[in-house]
Chains A and B, each alone.
Chain A
Amino acid sequence: MNAPPADHGDPRVAFESAKLGLWTFLATEVLLFGALFTAYAVFRLKYPALFHSEHLKLNRVLGTLNTLVLITSSLAVALGVDAIRKGKARLLEKYYGVTVLLGAVFLCVKYIEWTEEFHHGLYPGTNIFFSLYFMLTGLHGIHVILGMGILTYVVVLSRRGRFSAGYHTPVEVSGLYWHFIDLVWIYLLPLLYLIG
């Protein structure tokens, strides 16, 4: 009866709290990748010639292709969240399924790239540019794998009828996580492939 205004039993408050929790987690993620971005900035200014000559060895076409794959997967997530906000669980499952598939495509392309680079004798220990390249793309790849797992779990929950227009918090927060993975790649493309 006399519930305080910030009662977490209130679904709206619970939703807002979950969202803030996810944004807080993303803050730690920004700083995790941020450490590597800082290292990139320092070494790029220290060895501009090395960064220029080495970045030309990356496959710009595959990097661009993967960017388009991730952007498309992000659109699918946004449409999936929109679907469940309207109560369409089947549609959400389809969109999130497409996202997981595109995540797999992304990893396959990444695998082809890494194989190509290993074949040319380019390893994490080759030089500072490739150390950063493998660290950044590897850490990002781990996030893609985790994101695929989380979205798959959301699809499983949705199949069990857990979500509706009234309750879909896990869909929203998992969507935010996937968009963040897309955000990181949006910066990796220019930093590694385009301007090295």
Chain B
Amino acid sequence: MSHETTGARRTFITVYIALVLLTVVTVLVSYVNLGLMNVVVALLIASVKASLVALIFMHLKSEDRLVWGFALVPIAFLALIILGTLVDTLLR
């Protein structure tokens, strides 16, 4: 638990730089009119950023399958809720 963290600082700082760059990119892209692609690109970049935070900052990368389950199941539920609600409201 305590001896395998050498080099962790370096990884965190690299991830941080990536997060800052992705933020700058997503803001710049928002000034360009891509039509519907604006939404896709913005959410894609946000998801890459979120994955970096979860995998590296929250150590999900080095967790076992049980923790992965606890992290992913709520996201699956959220997707189900959003899709279900959209199907219901848009096709009514």
Contacts and interface: CB of A to CB of B under 8 A. Distances in A.
Contact of A78 (B23, B57, B66, B71): B57
Interface in A55-84: 60, 64, 67-68, 71-72, 74-75, 77-79, 82
Given A23-B67, A86-B5, 20 more contacts: A24-B70, A27-B70, A31-B81, A34-B78, A34-B81, A37-B78, A41-B82, A67-B23, A68-B23, A71-B19, A75-B13, A75-B57, A79-B9, A85-B2, A85-B5, A86-B2, A176-B58, A183-B54, A190-B45, A194-B38
Interface of A: 12, 15, 19-20, 23-24, 26-28, 30-31, 34-35, 37-38, 41-42, 45-46, 60, 64, 67-68, 71-72, 74-75, 77-79, 82, 85-87, 165-166, 175-176, 179-180, 182-183, 186-187, 189-191, 193-195
B20 A195 contact: no
The listed residue with most B CB atoms (<10 A of its CB), out of A166, A186, A189, A191, is: A186
B19 to A, nearest CB: 5
B81 A179 contact: no
B82 A75 contact: no
A40 to B, nearest CB: 9
Contacts of A179: 53-54, 57-58
Contacts of A189: 23, 26, 46
A191 B82 CA distance: 15
Interface of B: 1-2, 5, 8-9, 12-13, 15-16, 19-20, 23, 26-27, 30, 38-39, 42-43, 45-46, 49-50, 53-54, 56-58, 66-67, 70-71, 73-75, 77-78, 81-82, 85-86, 89-90
B6 to A, nearest CB: 9
The 4 closest A-B pairs by CB, nearest first: A190-B42, A27-B74, A194-B30, A23-B70
A46 to B, nearest CB: 8
B70 to A, nearest CB: 4
Contacts of B46: 186-187, 189-190
Contacts of A20: 66-67, 70
A77 B74 contact: no
A23 B74 CA distance: 10
Contacts of B42: 190-191, 194-195
A30 B70 contact: no
Contacts of B86: 41-42, 45
B30 to A, nearest CB: 4
A64 B27 contact: yes
16 contacts: A12-B1, A23-B70, A38-B85, A42-B85, A67-B23, A71-B20, A72-B16, A74-B16, A74-B53, A77-B57, A86-B5, A183-B50, A186-B53, A187-B50, A194-B38, A194-B42
